Amino acid sequence: MLSFFKGYKTFAIVFAIISVIIISLIYNTLNVYQPLPIYQPAMVSTELVDTTIQYQKKYHKIADFSLINQNRKRITQNDYKDKIYVADFFFTTCGTICPIMTKNMADIQTAIMKYNDVMLLSHTVTPEIDSVEQLKRYAIAKGVIDRKWNLVTGDKKEIYALARKSYLAVKDDGDGGPYDMIHTENFMLIDKKRQIRGFYDGTNPEDIERLLQDIEILKQEYEQ
């Protein structure tokens, strides 16, 4: 009888070890690293994309830019070299979705403070209203930390081209004006190669959480 229980004990130990190994394999399989997609113009709604690139399927990157931030500093692509960043389009006098977007962007700012290679970039779509002084007042009111987050203004044609041809994020308002636009609630996640890696509803808390998770995934990509 004693030998029977000893044999059962050995079987139980072996079975437990095998079970742990199988569970670990299943867990690792289900949690395997999955890279984020690289978005191309052809993958995005045509209403958000300039007609000249709507069917482009590869090689899309954010174009060079030169804009002025809330501190009257000229901001270019070089300020975001080797950086992951979140971009959006807004205007300071917007009373609908912009306050929500800005609050959520401020929450993202708090979450990324520990990372030197993650930043934020917000473009005004009404540069004729959003002067440097106006952006500075807005930045102070919203808790913008200058080294992490640039609010930029500049030539409206350049901002429009960036919105439609680079970030794929702004609708033409259809009123016949060549450089008028309706911005969306989208936040765009941009990688260190200036590629779009995600779109998120900047007014949706669940999407903000997904964005933060995707930043972690993207950082992991560079650690591979």
Q: Pick from 200, 215, 214: which is nearest to 104 by CA?
A: 200
76 Cα distance to chain centroid: 18
Distance CA 159, CA 124 (A): 8
123 known ligand binder: no
183 known ligand binder: yes
Two tokens, residue 40: 């191309």
* Cβ proximity of 36 and 221 under 8 Å: yes
Q: Which helix (H) or strand (E) holds 42?
A: none
Q: Where are the alpha helices (DSSP H) in the chain?
A: 2-30, 98-111, 132-142, 156-161, 205-223
Burial class (CB in 10 A: 0-12, 13-18, 19+), 78: exposed
60 known ligand binder: no
The phi, psi pair for 152, rounded to 5°, reads: -120, 145
Residue ranges for the known binding site for Cu cation are 94, 98, 183
Residue ranges for the known binding site are 94, 98, 183
